[in-house]
Each structure stands twice: as C-alpha cells, then as structure tokens.
Structure 1
Amino acid sequence: CIMGKLSSAYRQLTEGVSQLPEPFDSQYHCGALLGSGGFGSVFSGQRLCDGLQVAIKQISRDRVQQWARLPGEVGPVPMEIALLQRLVEVGGHASVVRMLDWFEVEGRGFLLVLERPPHGQDLFDFITERGALPERLALRFFRQIVEGLRFLHAHGVVHRDIKDENIVVDTRTLDVKIIDFGSGAPLKETPYSEFEGTRVYSPPEWIVSQSYEAVPLTVWSLGVLLFDMVCGDIPFERDQDIVGAAPVFTRRVSKECQSLIRWCLSYRPEERPTLEEILSHPWMEGGEAEEEEHSSLPNQSL
C-alpha cells in the first residue's frame, strides 16, 4: 500500500494516541482528473470516513520551485503546503480554499487534500458560459475576493497568481474561493525578483524591470480580473498593452466601476489603491450585492 504522511495539524489532534499514520489510500479515494498544468495535477476525491467530496492535488518533487520547513517535519515541504498550513492554523477564511490534509508518497511526490465546493466552477468557465457579468454579480464576487486577499496578507501570505481560473464559484450560493497557491510566497515589504504567475495578469513593472512589490502586484491583477468580469475578457494580451496601462472598455460599464478598474491599473505602482482603499471605493460601497436569481444567470447574451 502507499504510505502517506499525516499533516502536523492532524498529528496535534491525535497527540498522545498510540497509532501509526494511516496510508493515504485508506483515508481517501482518488477519482477523475479535474485539471493539470505546470503546478501538477488535480483530481476529484472523496474522504472515506464520511463521504466528503474533496480535491486532491498531486505535485511531483521535480516541479517544486520553492521549499519550506514545517515544525516537526524532518524534510522540507513545498512552499504551497507551508502557506496553506499557516492559513489553517489561524482559522482559515470563507473565501480561501482550506487544506484538509497532506501526504508525501514515495514515487508520487506530495498529495494535498483540499476542500471542494459541491457545485464549484472556476470563474473562467463561469464567464465563458455566461459572458460579461452584471455589475451587481461582479461586485458580489469581487468583494469576497478582496476580503480573502486581505486575510492572506494579514497572515503573511501573497498569492501572486490571482486570475479567473484561480477563483472557484459555488454556482448555488454564489460564494467564491481563492485556490491554487502554487505561485504563492511569504509576504514581504521588499521587492520580489521572481514571478511564477500568469503574464497577462502581471503588472508593467514586471514587464519593464522584472521587479514588483506584493500589494501593487495583487491590486494590478485585481484590476485585470474586475475588467474580465464586467467585459467578458481580459484587457491586455501583449506586453506593450500591459505597459500602456490603458484599458479600452468593450461594454457599457458604469463610471464608478471604470474608475476603480483604472485606479487598480495605474501604471505607477505607488498610485494604485490598497486593498482597504478598494473596499471603500464608491463602486464597492454601493450597497451589499444581493444574490442574483438563478434564472438570471445562465447564458447571458453577449
């Protein structure tokens, strides 16, 4: 059988109990492939003790770009595990995916067991099916994402790859979760000189000088994401367009929403808002977004 390693959080729960770590296969069933990329592969899964639906992310050791140390662990673990473990230990956040467990499996690398919304769909597919979103719905999603990012930053984590593919929407509740911390890093105030995120979401300073700071990077990517939600596609495809930092709105978008997007997409990093300033922008303060009726969601015309 495949021997797994229980997370340190699980060990703490079972401290004082005389037992060996159970193998991965005795605790989880690994199902169909959901997606794959440079980060690894993600499979559907089920926790055997209670039938809970989960996502299982497999990361090969040779694909790990950053390593970290966890207390009580003999060897290093992928930075993604260390960051998600940190978030678990501070209680987590409703808009951030939670890691339930992790294992190191000989010959298979690392297996991360993650929560999976029962009616989840990534925001890229959500927009592809429905077209540009009504501003009220975009606001509902955007507020949750910004609050989730505030939580990450408050606990020393920067995601570095905010995009529609890394936001999962529960299509019944319209709640969202930020996923995929494969490009994440510990938050620091000094500039970063490496970037593993998505280029069309990267800011001008990275294109020009291969350097950026955590908050301006995050806010730029939020500007791209909000444009994507209300216009149905991202504003920039080429490096020269990113450096131009002049989004052209292809749909009717309110002046307040355009104002927020343009502020987030300011060329100079120091001129972009903070996450707190985003939340206090007039478009964001236009009242709590009400839940859209399901009948208004499917297949909105382009």
Structure 2
Amino acid sequence: MLEKSSAELREEEPVRKNVKEPFCSRYSCGSLLGSGGFGSVFSGQRLSDGLQVAVKQISRDSVQQWARLSGEAAPVPMEIVLLQRLSEVGGHGGVVRLLDWFQVEGRGFLLVLERPPQSQDLFDFITERGALPERLALRFFRQIVEALRFVHANGVVHRDVKDENIVVDTRTLDVKIIDFGSGAALKETPYSEFEGTRVYSPPEWVESQSYLAVPLTVWSLGVLLFDMVCGDIPFERDQEIVEAMPLFTKRVSKECQSLIRWCLSYRPEDRPTLEEVLTHPWMDREPEDEEEDRGDLQGGPNSLPGQSL
C-alpha cells in the first residue's frame, strides 16, 4: 500500500477525540525520514514553539494489535497504549516520548514523537563508522539496558530491540529506544506471536515459536552488543541462531565477549536478567569521558589501538 506524501498529510485534517484543533493547526509535517512495514516517519515541527518532532503515520491495515485507551470509544494501535503508559509514569530519558496522537479519518493514525535535532539511528551510526570502540559501545549499552529496565518495570516489553530502533543524539551521545510497534504488555507467561526482527530472535522462537519476555530481550541485547563492537550482527540464518555460537570478527576484550556469550546462551534460563547484565564485570567501569568518546568518533575506528578498553 502506497503511503501519502508529506504534502497530502499537511492538507488533511486528522480528527482526535477530545481535541478541538486538528493536526495541521498544531504541527507542520516535513520530509520523509523513513518507511517500512510499520508505516512512514516524517520530520515535523510543533507550531507553538518550533520543537522538532517526528510524525509516524500508521495505516489501519498495518496494525497487528489493538487495545483500549481510557477515554477513547474505539480501540487504538497497541503502540499508542504502550507509549501512553510510559509517558504517564513520567517517561525516561532513554525512551522516546509520545507527545500527541491523532486519528486520520479513513487512513489511520499519526503519532507525534520527540526527536533530537541532530540524531541518527544506531544502524546508520555503525554503518558509517564501523565497529565501535568498547568504551563507546559501553556508553550506549548501559543507557539501553537502563531504559529497558524502566520499560519492563512499567509493564511493557519492546520485542524488537535492534540497532535500527536505537536513536543516537550525535551532540550528546545519549540514546533513545524508539518504535514500539512490535511491543506488548509485559507478562510472565510465554508469548506465541512475534513481530520483531528474525535475526534478533532467540533459538526458542526459531525452534518452537514460544518465548518469555526477559530472555527474549536479553538475547536481543547480546546480538546488539556484538553488532556494536564487531560492526555487524552475529547470526544471519536460523541454523546459526540455534547453534548460538557467535564468532568474533574483531578484537574484543574477554570481559565483553563473556557478557555477549552470556546473553546469547542457548537456554533461556541460562541468560542473565537485565539487573545481572548491569552487574557484569564489563559493565563495572568508570563513568565515560565524553570528550574522549567524541575524539574516538572524530578519529574513526582505525585511530584506536584495537577494540578493548
């Protein structure tokens, strides 16, 4: 299904319950930032103060899960409910914040999300720079794990943790988790559906189409950390996922390898919890030096003596 252009988006007037002003009276919609099975994301601006935002358009037929939101008569995409829940408890610096949302008559939904003015997703960040120095990978990874602890503590599981769903503020080197389109309410019992990314999925899903929330998340974190320090993901095929034996293609410290292998344990019960990830020896480092991290970026990956701390 073809998405509407940004010009067409500006011309239409979405309708939201209990909101008098339409979308186009409160926000401007600019160029296309990206698109996929989830819909399309445009740059945008809040007219009242010029705040830079991202506008995510979701067509109704692409919504896999619907849920009820207090005060709304009709069901809305689960993503709205999950993001609303996280915002209502105060939000977290490492999780994208939902600022507003609108229903477009006959089309779908527009989600207005915060967006750092100078941001880049981690996939592009790694593609441009290659494998990251461990110090910088640790800086990002710690933020991501802390953000996921907040997400889980408030009854939400993301289910699609990957480099494309992490946005880096290139000025501050702070990161945010985005795109909760594959997310769900957190539960202790197994899930039997998965809309995330296959190469980030764990062996139990590949083999039996069943998984638990925390082991799934931790497996994805292991894939992500490998991706950061090696410059690419460890597994491409189902057989490689099931074998669960990452082959390190760069020089990586023993401590970092140990954490990655723990996260990528074949048996879900052998993987750490998020709290245990944070207490692993590799994570127990002095606070990062932002100036040194910036120097690493300017000098490029080849300017450093290897990948170890």
After TM superposition, give the deviation of residue 289 of structure 1 in Å: 2.2
Alignment correspondent of 2:14 = 4
Alignment correspondent of 1:14 = none
Alignment correspondent of 1:297 = 297
Alignment correspondent of 1:243 = 242
Alignment correspondent of 2:283 = 284
* 1:24 counterpart = 2:23: yes
CA contact (8 A) 1:202 1:220 kept: yes
- Identity across matched positions, percent: 80
Alignment correspondent of 1:66 = 65
CA contact (8 A) 2:57 2:108 kept: yes
* 1:123 counterpart = 2:122: yes
Measured against aligned partners, the alpha-carbon deviations of 1:128-165 in whole angstroms (never above 9, x if no partner) come to: 11110000000000000000000000000000000000
Provide the C-alpha distance between the structure 1 equivalents of 2:273 and 2:109, rounded to a whole number of angstroms.
Answer: 35
* Range with greater deviation from structure 2 (285-294 or 208-217): 285-294
Provide the C-alpha distance between the structure 2 equivalents of 1:109 and 1:118, rounded to a whole number of angstroms.
Answer: 26
1:1-302 matches, within 5 Å, as 2-6=12-16, 21-291=20-290, 292-298=292-298, 299-301=300-302
Q: TM (normalized to structure 1)?
A: 0.94
* Counterpart AA for 1:130: R
After TM superposition, give the deviation of residue 213 of structure 1 in Å: 0.3
After TM superposition, give the deviation of residue 293 of structure 1 in Å: 4.2
CA contact (8 A) 1:103 1:110 kept: yes
Provide the C-alpha distance between the structure 1 equivalents of 2:295 and 2:133, rounded to a whole number of angstroms.
Answer: 13
Q: TM (normalized to structure 2)?
A: 0.92
* Range with greater deviation from structure 2 (288-297 or 84-93): 288-297
* Counterpart AA for 1:296: D
Provide the C-alpha distance between the structure 2 equivalents of 1:35 and 1:296, rounded to a whole number of angstroms.
Answer: 28
Provide the C-alpha distance between the structure 2 equivalents of 1:171 and 1:239, rounded to a whole number of angstroms.
Answer: 34
Unpaired runs of 5+ residues, structure 2, are: 1-10, 304-309
CA contact (8 A) 1:130 1:301 kept: no
Provide the C-alpha distance between the structure 2 equivalents of 1:278 and 1:164, rounded to a whole number of angstroms.
Answer: 18
CA contact (8 A) 1:200 1:242 kept: yes
Provide the C-alpha distance between the structure 2 equivalents of 1:107 and 1:113, rounded to a whole number of angstroms.
Answer: 19
CA contact (8 A) 1:4 1:22 kept: no
CA contact (8 A) 1:245 1:266 kept: yes
May I ask how many residue pairs the two structures share in their alignment? 291
